[in-house]
Amino acid sequence: MTNTTFAVGGDIEVRRLGFGAMRITGPGIWGPPRDRAAARALLRRAADLGVQLIDTADAYGPGVSEELIAEALFPPTVSSSLPKAATNAPAPAASQPPES
């Protein structure tokens, strides 16, 4: 049988299937999404389906993915529980979107 979980930091057991939050932000991973309510609904659905690990970074948006995660999952509803772990690595401050 294949192990379906792993330990984050050696002690937080989570399912191997996680959710990458990079694309819940605006175009080019910059700014808010066009439909904030749909992004929050997607995050709640992921939690409802058992996702325990959300991969995010402050560079996504910047900061937008964390805001959406907080809006969608805090406080937890009856149908969803909080993810056990989320990743976040500091990025240099950006004053303007990257050039296309």
Tell me: cis bond preceding 83? Omega within 30 of 0 counts.
Answer: no
Specify the range with the lowest mean pLDDT, choosing from 52-61, 62-71, 85-94: 85-94
- Between residues 27 and 79, the one the model is more confident about: 27
- Between residues 91 and 18, the one the model is more confident about: 18
> What's the pTM value of the predicted model, to 2 decimals?
0.75
Residue 14 has pLDDT above 90, yes or no: no
The pair of structure tokens assigned to 5 is 């979980």
CA angle 75, 80, 82 (to 5 degrees): 55
Q: What are the φ and ψ backbone dihedral angles of 13, each rounded to 5 degrees? A: -80, 125
Question: For this structure, is 60 an active site residue?
Answer: yes
- Measured CA to CA, the distance from residue 50 to residue 29 in angstroms comes to 25
Q: Among the options 51, 60, 80, 83, which is catalytic?
A: 60
